[in-house]
Amino acid sequence: MGTTRRLTTAQAIIAFLKNQYVERDGQQNAFFSGMLGIFGHGNVAGIGQALQQNLDFRFIPVRNEQAAVHIAAGHAKMSNRLRTFACTSSIGPGATNMITGAALATINRLPVLLLPGDIFARRNVAPVLQQLESPSTQDIGVNDCFRPVSRYWDRINRPEQIITSLPEAMRALTSPADTGAVVLALPQDVQAEAYDYPEELFRKRVWLIRRPRPDRVSLKRAIAAIRASQKPFMVAGGGVLYSHAWEALSLFANRTGIPVGETQAGKGALAYNHPQCVGAVGATGNLAANRLANAADLVIGIGTRYSDFTTASMTAFQNLEVRFLNINVAEFDVCKVSAIPVVADAKVALEELTAGLDGYRVSVEYASQVSALKEKWEAEVERLLHLKRDPRPAQSEVIGAIWDASGPNDTLVSAAGSHPGDLHKLWRARSPNCYHLEYGYSCMGYEIPGAIGAKMADPHREVFVLVGDGTYLMMPSEIVTAVQERIKVIIVLVDNHGYASIGSLSQALGSGAFGTQLRFRSLESQQTDGDFVPVDFVGNARSLGAHAVKANNLADLKHALQQAKESDLTTLIVVETDREARVPGYNSWWDVAVAEVSESERVRQARTVYEEARQKERHHL
C-alpha cells in the first residue's frame, strides 16, 4: 500500500482542489482561484475549519449565496472557462439560494463547483434544523433540487466517496462540451469525519482542455457547402471566445469575405470595425445582420446553441433554400436546425476551413451589399448614441457615454432588463472579452457579482456595470464584497422607475405596462398608479461602502465616469433616463404568446399581430 494522509473529508477536498490545474496549448494554470461562501451550521465546522487550515487557498465571504455563484460564473466567463471558484454554503436556505446560480452556470456552459452543506448522513438526530422531511423516503433533501440544473451531482455519504467523486467532478468542470454547475452535497457530519486518504489523491493533476479536430468527411462536406453558397452568413457564438478562436475567425472572414453576425455570448469575437463584422443578429439584432441573415442561403453557426434570441424565434432565416452548417464542440448543439454537423473545436475548425477554402471568396456583388449594410448600420449607431435629449438622456446615450469612457480592453457587464437588447445592438466591441453579457439565463442580480468575478479574472481592466433600478434592488449587497476585497468596479444605475424592459413588452402585448412601474398604491384606485416611489440609490450605495453620485444629465454622467476611472474605489453613478426613448427593432421578432381571448381591445389587436408574425416561424428540417 502507498502512503496515506489522515484528513477530514473537508480537509481532503480543499487539499485536492488546491492541486487541480488545466492545460491548453501548452499553458498551465491553477483551475480554482479559491472559494466563495457563507458559513452556517452545515459547513462551519467542516469546510470552514478546512479553509482556516489552508489560508493559501483564498476564501472570500460574500453577502448572498446566489451572488457567490454569480461571482464564480463571471470569473469563469472572463477566464474563458480556464479558471473558476468553488462555492460553499450551509444546509437549507443557504444551499437553495445557490440553485438560481447553478442554473445560470449550466445554461451558459460555465464551470462552477458548489459544495452545499447537507443533513446528517447518520440520520439519528434528524430532523435537523432546516431539514426537508419526506414521508416516502429518508434519502431526499433540498439539495436534490440541484439535480436538473447540474452537469454532475453527488451526495457524499462516506468520507472515502470523494476519492472517486472529485475526479468525476473535475471531468465535468473541464469538459468543453459538458461543463456547467457541479454539485457535491456534503452532509455536515461527513465533512468532519476523518479517513486515511491515499497520498496520490493530492498530487498535482493537470486536466488537458482538448481541441478536437473535425473528421475528414464532415470537413469536406462543410467546404463543399460553403463553395456552393451564394450568400453565406456566419453566426459567431460564445464558443469562439472560449476557444480563443478570434484570430482564426478574423483570418477566415478576411480570406472569404463571409459576413459575421454575433450572438450575445459571441460579441467581441471580431472587433466592431472589422470589415466582415456586421454585429448583433436575432431578436435583438441590427438592420445589417438581420437583413443578411434573412436572405442567407447558408448559415454557418460556430460555437452557438441557437437560442430563440439568436434565431428570432426561428424567424430570422427566411430564404426557402437556406441550409445550415454547424461547428461546435458539443454534439448536442451541432445537430440543431438539421445542420451539416462538424463536431470540433472552433479554433482548429476555422483554421482547417480557411486552408480548405483557399481561393474562395464571396462574389463582388455580395461583398458590396455587406459593406453597404455595415456602413448604414454604423451611421444608425452614431445617431442613437448622440440623440442629444436633455435633461433626461435616452438609454442609448448612456451606453454611448460609457463606451466613450471605456478603453479598448475595458469590459462592460450586464445581464437583464432592456440593457442587453440595446447593448447587443449598440456596444462597439473593440477586443475579446470586453463585452460580458449573461444572456443565457438573463438573471436579474447577476450584474454586480458577475462584474466582481470578471474584475478578479483580469484586474488590469476597468469593469463597467450597466444595471437598472429594478435589478439593482434585487442584489446590491455584493457592493460590500467589492469594497471588502478592494475590487473596484464602476456601476452605472439607470433609474427608469421600475421594470422598463418588461413594461415595454407588456405594452406591445396590449397589457399597458401593468405592474411594471415603481409607484405608490393609490388610495382612490387601490392600484399601484400613484406617484413614483423615491428610492435613494446614492444613499444606499454609500451605506454599503461605495462612492456614489447622482448624474442629473449626460454631461454630469460623462464627468462622473471620468472621476470614477481615476478613483480606486467602487463607484455607483445614478442617472435617470427617458423610459420611452427606446432603440428600435430591426426586422426582428421574439415569440411571446398573447392571450387568445380577452376583453381588452388592445390585447385582441396584439393577438392578431402575434398570429401574423408566427406564420414566419420555421422548423428548418
**Given this model, what pLDDT does residue 390 score?**
77
Which residue type is seen at 471? T
What single string gives the DSSP state of each residue in 252-272?
Answer: HHHHH---EEE-TTTTTSS-T
CA 105 distance to own-chain centroid: 8
Buried-exposed string 531-570: b where 16+ CB fall within 10 A, e elsewhere: eeeeeebbebbeebebbbbbbeebebbbebbeebbeeeeb
Parallel, antiparallel or unpaired: strands 20-24 and 27-30: antiparallel
Which residue type is seen at 469? D
Q: Is the four-CA dihedral 119, 123, 127, 128 of positive or negative sign?
A: negative
Mean pLDDT across the stretch 70-84?
98
Across the chain, how many H-helices and E-strands are there?
Answer: 23, 23
Which of 307, 340, 309 lies closest to 324 in space, CA to CA?
340
What single string gives the DSSP state of each residue in 461-508?
Answer: S-EEEEEEHHHHHH--THHHHHHHTT---EEEEEE-SB-HHHHHHHHH
* Strand order across the 260-262 sheet: 277-280, 260-262, 232-236, 298-302, 323-328, 340-343
Q: Residue 341: is the preceding peptide bond cis (ω within 30°)?
A: no
CA distances from 481 to 475, 559, 572 (A): 12, 26, 14
Helices (H), 20-142: 47-53, 65-78, 93-96, 99-107
> Is the pLDDT at 187 greater than 70, yes or no?
yes
The string of pLDDT tens digits covering residues 146-162 is 999 999 999 999 999 99
* CA separation for the pair 350, 238 (Å, rounded): 15
- CB contact set of 338 (below 8 Å; sequence gap of 6+): 324, 620, 621
What the chain holds in terms of domains, given with CATH numbers, is: 4-208 (3.40.50.970), 216-377 (3.40.50.1220), 386-497+533-576 (3.40.50.970)
Q: Residue 391: is the preceding peptide bond cis (ω within 30°)?
A: yes
The string of pLDDT tens digits covering residues 458-479 is 999 999 999 999 999 999 999 9
pTM (predicted TM-score): 0.96
Alpha carbons within 13 angstroms on the beta-carbon side of residue 551 total 29
Cell 466592431 identifies what position?
Answer: 272
**Given this model, what pLDDT does residue 1 score?**
60
CA distances from 553 to 290, 426, 427, 575 (A): 33, 20, 21, 7
* CA separation for the pair 71, 48 (Å, rounded): 19
The string of pLDDT tens digits covering residues 271-305 is 999 999 999 999 999 999 999 999 999 999 999 99
Query: Cβ(392)–Cβ(554) under 8 Å?
Result: no
Mean pLDDT across the stretch 14-41?
97
**Given this model, what pLDDT does residue 618 score?**
93
Q: What is the CA radius of gyration of the chain?
A: 25
